[in-house]
């Protein structure tokens, strides 16, 4: 590999990692607060992405696509939490099985509504060009995804550590019962967090549609990445999601460039290694 190629693959890895962070941050936030492993996260991503594509194609506006995709995923998230998950609150296994059911239904609804052909978003002209970075040219869109993820990371950090909402969430994470006894409406915080997580999945879907293609089965593919990222980083940890995303993004890019046939295994390997030596992940709290 030449230096240019190395730089190119590193940027590919970082921008894919950025997408993974947008996806995994929602997944890990929901787990951190509610202890729900939302296996419908990939389906929320897919539905958000498809709605984004339809909206961008119809209106020609990329921001409108983002709003529509995020809103759709958030509404489905709200319905899932209010109508289903709330009824088995606190029982881990029924909760996760319900999300499997939701994933199947939403994934199938996507197939029914949007068909089986691969689709992607027409990227707005501003972002569809390339920029010169030293000796290589690089697509602006990927750099946009990268900066979006950094901005999101900063925003989430500030929300979690500097705002009242963040304090409520952290209180709920640390001790649900005490938080409730202090008059915090924990169920409402739960609903808000779940909807926010679903919205992030939808955002990831819309953004991904300009980077990858969406097709039936893309939901489980991306779910694998989300699972691996949070297992490596540590379930419930935002820093873990950031580090895990960058790591898995880079591993994916370089393995696809070097040994394409084994790319799936290459993504899985870091997870296996982390699990053997640190079952709770790099930034995870043990005992959760």
Query: Could you list the residues that contact another protein (CB under 8 A)?
Result: 35, 37, 39, 84, 87-88, 92-94, 96-98, 100-105, 107-109, 112, 220-221, 223-224, 227-228, 231, 235, 260-265, 267-268, 271-272, 275-276, 279
Query: Nearest 10 degrees: CA dihedral of 257, 140, 65, 248?
Result: 30
In the complex, the smallest distance separating the C-beta of residue 223 from another protein, rounded to whole angstroms, is 7
Q: Which one, 58 or 262, has the nearer CB to another protein?
A: 262
- Quick one: tokens of 49? 């992405």
In the complex, the smallest distance separating the C-beta of residue 262 from another protein, rounded to whole angstroms, is 7
Phi, psi of 61 (to 5 degrees): -110, 120
In the complex, the smallest distance separating the C-beta of residue 120 from another protein, rounded to whole angstroms, is 20
Q: Which one, 146 or 227, has the nearer CB to another protein?
A: 227
| 255-283 as b/e: b if 16+ CB within 10 A | bbbeeeeebeebbeebbeebeeeeebbbb
Query: CA 75, CA 195: separation in Å to the nearest integer?
Result: 7
**Helix or strand or coil: residue 124?**
coil
In the complex, the smallest distance separating the C-beta of residue 227 from another protein, rounded to whole angstroms, is 4
Cα end-to-end distance, the chain, whole Å: 42
- Provide the 10 A C-beta neighbour count for residue 17: 27
Q: Which one, 138 or 268, has the nearer CB to another protein?
A: 268
In the complex, the smallest distance separating the C-beta of residue 102 from another protein, rounded to whole angstroms, is 7
In the complex, the smallest distance separating the C-beta of residue 226 from another protein, rounded to whole angstroms, is 9
Query: CA 274, CA 46: separation in Å to the nearest integer?
Result: 28
Within 13 Å, how many C-alpha atoms sit on residue 220's CB side?
A: 7
Q: Which one, 119 or 256, has the nearer CB to another protein?
A: 256
Q: Which one, 214 or 235, has the nearer CB to another protein?
A: 235
């Amino acid at each position: 590999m030449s230096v240019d190629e190395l730089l190119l693959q590193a940027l590919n890895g970082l921008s894919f990692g950025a997408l993974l962070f947008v996806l995994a941050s929602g997944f890990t936030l929901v787990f951190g607060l509610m202890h729900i492993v939302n296996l419908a996260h990939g389906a929320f991503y897919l539905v958000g992405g498809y709605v984004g594509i339809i909206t961008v194609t119809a209106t020609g506006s990329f921001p409108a696509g983002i709003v529509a995709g995020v809103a759709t995923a958030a509404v489905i998230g709200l319905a899932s939490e209010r109508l289903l998950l709330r009824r088995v609150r606190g029982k881990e296994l029924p909760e996760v099985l319900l999300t499997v059911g939701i994933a199947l239904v939403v994934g199938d609804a996507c197939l029914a509504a949007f068909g089986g052909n691969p689709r992607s978003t027409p990227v707005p002209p501003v972002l569809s060009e390339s920029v010169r970075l030293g000796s290589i040219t690089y697509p602006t869109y990927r750099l946009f995804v990268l900066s979006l993820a950094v901005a999101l990371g900063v925003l989430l950090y500030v929300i979690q550590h500097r705002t009242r909402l963040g304090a409520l969430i952290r209180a709920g994470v640390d001790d649900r019962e005490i938080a409730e006894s202090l008059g915090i409406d924990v169920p409402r915080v739960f609903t808000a967090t779940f909807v926010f997580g679903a919205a992030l999945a939808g955002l990831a879907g819309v953004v991904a549609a300009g980077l990858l293609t969406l097709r039936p089965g893309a939901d489980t593919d991306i779910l694998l990445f989300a699972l691996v990222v949070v297992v490596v980083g540590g379930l419930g940890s935002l820093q873990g999601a950031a580090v895990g995303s960058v790591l898995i993004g880079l591993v994916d890019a370089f393995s696809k460039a070097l040994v394409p046939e084994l790319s799936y295994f290459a993504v899985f390997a870091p997870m296996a290694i982390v699990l053997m030596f640190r079952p709770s992940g790099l930034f995870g709290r043990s005992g959760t």
